[in-house]
Structure formats: C-alpha cells, structure tokens
Amino acid sequence: MKNRICPSIEVLSGYLAGSLAGDEKIAMERHLTGCPRCRQLLVETYEIMSSRGIHKRCKKWLDLAVKNRWFMGAQAALILSFFFPAYFVQFLTACFLMGCKWIIDAKTTKMLIMIHEAWKRGEKTELDKELSGFKHFMF
C-alpha cells in the first residue's frame, strides 16, 4: 500500500536524474531512508535504466559489425589462411573477393563511380556548378 507521505514519482524521478537541490533533495533522502517501498522503486528504475545503457552499447557495436561485415570477413579469411596452410589459396581468394565487395559497397566508392559516370556523360556535377559559380564571382 502506498504510504500517504510518499513523494510523487515526478519528485522521485527528479531525484534520480539529479534535478533536485537543497532542501528538496535532503527531504527526499530522509524519506528514502525510512521508506523501503520508494527505495525499491528507485533501485528498480535505476536497474532498468542502466541495463538500457548496456543494451544501447551492444546495439551500437552490433550495427558497426553489420556495417563492416565484408571487411571483417576478409580479415578473418586472411588470418585463417595462415592457420590452415592446406587451404591457403582458397582463404586468400575468399579474402580478395570479400575485400572487393567491401570496397564496392563503401559509400565513397559508390559516389566516385557516380561522379565518374556523370563526367563521362558530360553532365556537370553539383560541385562543378558550385565551382564554376565561384570562378565567375572571383574573376
């Protein structure tokens, strides 16, 4: 049952976020020393929020790994080629293919290809247009 003098969850969450100051903070701490219910709620909230941080960090690393999967695959194949000399050529081929895939998939490569194709067609890129305008202004 909720204690009648328990502070609201707005105040409790404010305490956890560090937004309380002065007398309010002291009053909150005094209450927490004597109220196991509020203390438990505070600890549970902290637990969930800290586990969220771990989850976020894991997701970040996982995203990075997925993004660079071809590069990592190429590296793994290169390392394995030294551990299994019998399949050295096969691993090296796999490393080369995955390396190529990584280079082709990279955003910068795609952009370079697009610029090259546009240049071949004789179209002016955004950069060319900007540069020409700049030249006109300067000279």
Partner 1 sequence: MSTEELLKKCIERDYEAWNDFIERYKSLVTRSVRYKLKKISVKMKMPRDEFRDIVQEIFLTIWEKNELARVRDAASLEGWLVMVSLNRTSNYCRGRIYAKPKNMVSLEADLFAGKPGISLKSMIPSACFNTVDMVESRELSELLKSEIDSLDHKQQLALKLNVYEHRKQKDISKIMNIPENTVATLVSRAKNRVREKMEEYFERNEGK
Which token pair is 103? 């280079």
Residue 37 binds partner 1 (CB under 8 A): no
Residue 24 binds partner 1 (CB under 8 A): no
d(CA 105, CA 79): 22
d(CA 37, CA 123): 70
Q: Exactly one of 6, 41, 92, 97 binds partner 1 (CB under 8 A); which one?
A: 41
Count of positions on this chain that bind partner 1 (CB under 8 A): 32
Contact stretch for partner 1 (CB under 8 A) within 47-55, 83-91, 101-109, 112-120:
47-55
Residue 10 binds partner 1 (CB under 8 A): yes
Site string for partner 1, 51-70 (x = CB under 8 A): xx--x---------------
Quickly list DSSP for 108-124.
Answer: HHHHHHHHHHHHHHTPP
User: What does R_g of the chain's alpha carbons equal in angstroms?
Assistant: 30
Q: 24: number of CA atoms within 13 Å, CB side?
A: 13
Contact stretch for partner 1 (CB under 8 A) within 30-38, 68-76, 82-90, 117-125:
30-38
Nearer to partner 1, 14 or 73 (CB): 14
Helix (H), strand (E) at residue 10: helix 9-17
Quickly list DSSP for 91-105.
Answer: HHHHHHHHHHHHHHH
What minimum distance in Å lies between the beta carbon of 65 and partner 1?
A: 20
Give residues in contact with partner 1 (CB under 8 A).
Answer: 8-14, 16-19, 26, 29-30, 32-33, 36, 39-52, 55
